[in-house]
C-alpha cells in the first residue's frame, strides 16, 4: 500500500481557502496512492471557536472530502470540528472512493489550550480495514498517551493527525518513533506548517515510520508539500514473526 501525507500551511478559520490549498497539494496524488492523510482541523487550523466553525459530520467539509476521494481513487482522512446532539467533537473522518466512512473522536483533549472546556472527548478507539490494511487513527495530543494507542489487535498502521507546535518538535519525532517501536506497526504522523491565528508556529515534520522505529519518509521541515511511502504487510509480518514482542505484552484494559 502507498500512503501519502499532506503538510499544508493552513489559512486561519478559512474553510474555502483551505480547500483550495489542500486541493492544490492533493491533485498531483490522484490515482497514484491509496490513502491521503491530512492534519488535525485541516479546514480551519486548531481553533477554539467551535460555535462559529462547527458543522455536521456530513456537512461541507465531508462533501469536499468525498469528491476528492472519488476523483483521486483513494481514501482521504483528517479531523475537523463536528457538532452532534449539542456537543462539539474534534472528529477524525475517513472517507473512501466508494463512500465508506469511519470516524474517531479525539480522546485526549488539550487542556493547556482550553480544548477540554469546549469539546467533548471520545471514549472509544477505532480499528478498521481498508484495502487489506488494518488502521487505527488518533489525533495530536493522543500521541502522548501510550496506553490509549496500544496495539492489541495487531494493527498494521497507526495514524496521527496533528497540529503539533514547533516548540515541541523533539517530542513529536521521539514519540512517533516510540509508538511505532512499542506497537510493532507502521506509524504515519501528518502535521501542518506556518503560524496560526493564536500566534503558534508549526514546522511540519510529517513522517512515516516502520515497526523498527526507522523513518522511511519525511517531509522537509517548514515547507508546504506532500510525501508518499510504501508500506509492506509482508515485511511487517516477517518482522513480527522474527521478533514477536507483542506476544509478551501485559494484558490489561482501560476503564472509564
pLDDT tens digits, one per residue of 175-204 = 999 999 999 999 999 999 999 999 999 999
pLDDT at 255 over 90: no
Domain architecture of the chain: domains with CATH: 2-248 (3.60.110.10)
CA gap 176, 189 in Å, rounded: 7
pLDDT at 254 over 80: no
Percentage, residues of the chain above pLDDT 90: 93
Residue for grid cell 521478533: 243
Count other C-beta atoms under 10 Å from residue 28's C-beta: 11
Q: What pLDDT sits at residue 6?
A: 98
Q: What pLDDT sits at residue 256?
A: 67
Q: Which residues are catalytic?
A: 40, 106, 140
pLDDT tens digits, one per residue of 84-122 = 999 999 999 999 999 999 999 999 999 999 999 999 999
C-alpha cell at position 256: 472509564
CA gap 119, 1 in Å, rounded: 34
> What integer best gives the mean pLDDT of the chain?
96
Amino acid at each position: 500500500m502507498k500512503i501519502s501525507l499532506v503538510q499544508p500551511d493552513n489559512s486561519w478559520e478559512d474553510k474555502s481557502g483551505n480547500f483550495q490549498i489542500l486541493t492544490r497539494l492533493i491533485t498531483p496524488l490522484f490515482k497514484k496512492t491509496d490513502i491521503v492523510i491530512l492534519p488535525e482541523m485541516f479546514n480551519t487550523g486548531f481553533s477554539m471557536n467551535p460555535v462559529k466553525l462547527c458543522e455536521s459530520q456530513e456537512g461541507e467539509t465531508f462533501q469536499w472530502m468525498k469528491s476528492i476521494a472519488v476523483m483521486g481513487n483513494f481514501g482521504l482522512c483528517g479531523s475537523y470540528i463536528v457538532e452532534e446532539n449539542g456537543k462539539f467533537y474534534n472528529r477524525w473522518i475517513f472517507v473512501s472512493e466508494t463512500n465508506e466512512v469511519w470516524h474517531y473522536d479525539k480522546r485526549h483533549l488539550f487542556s493547556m489550550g482550553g480544548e477540554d472546556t469546549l469539546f467533548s472527548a471520545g471514549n472509544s478507539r477505532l480499528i478498521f480495514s481498508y484495502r487489506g490494511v488494518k488502521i487505527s487513527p488518533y489525533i495530536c495530543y493522543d500521541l502522548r498517551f501510550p496506553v490509549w494507542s496500544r496495539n492489541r489487535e495487531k494493527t498494521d498502521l497507526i495514524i496521527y493527525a496533528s497540529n503539533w507546535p514547533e516548540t515541541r518538535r523533539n517530542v513529536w519525532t521521539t514519540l512517533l518513533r516510540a509508538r511505532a517501536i512499542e506497537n510493532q506497526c507502521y506509524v504515519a504522523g501528518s502535521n501542518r506548517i506556518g503560524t496560526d491565528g493564536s500566534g503558534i508556529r508549526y514546522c511540519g515534520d510529517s513522517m512515516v515510520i516502520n515497526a523498527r522505529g526507522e523513518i522511511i519518509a519525511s517531509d522537509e521541515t517548514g515547507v508546504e508539500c506532500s510525501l508518499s511511502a510504501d508500506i509492506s504487510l509482508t515485511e511487517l509480518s516477517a518482522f513480527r514473526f522474527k521478533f514477536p514482542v507483542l506476544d509478551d505484552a501485559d494484558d490489561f484494559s482501560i476503564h472509564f
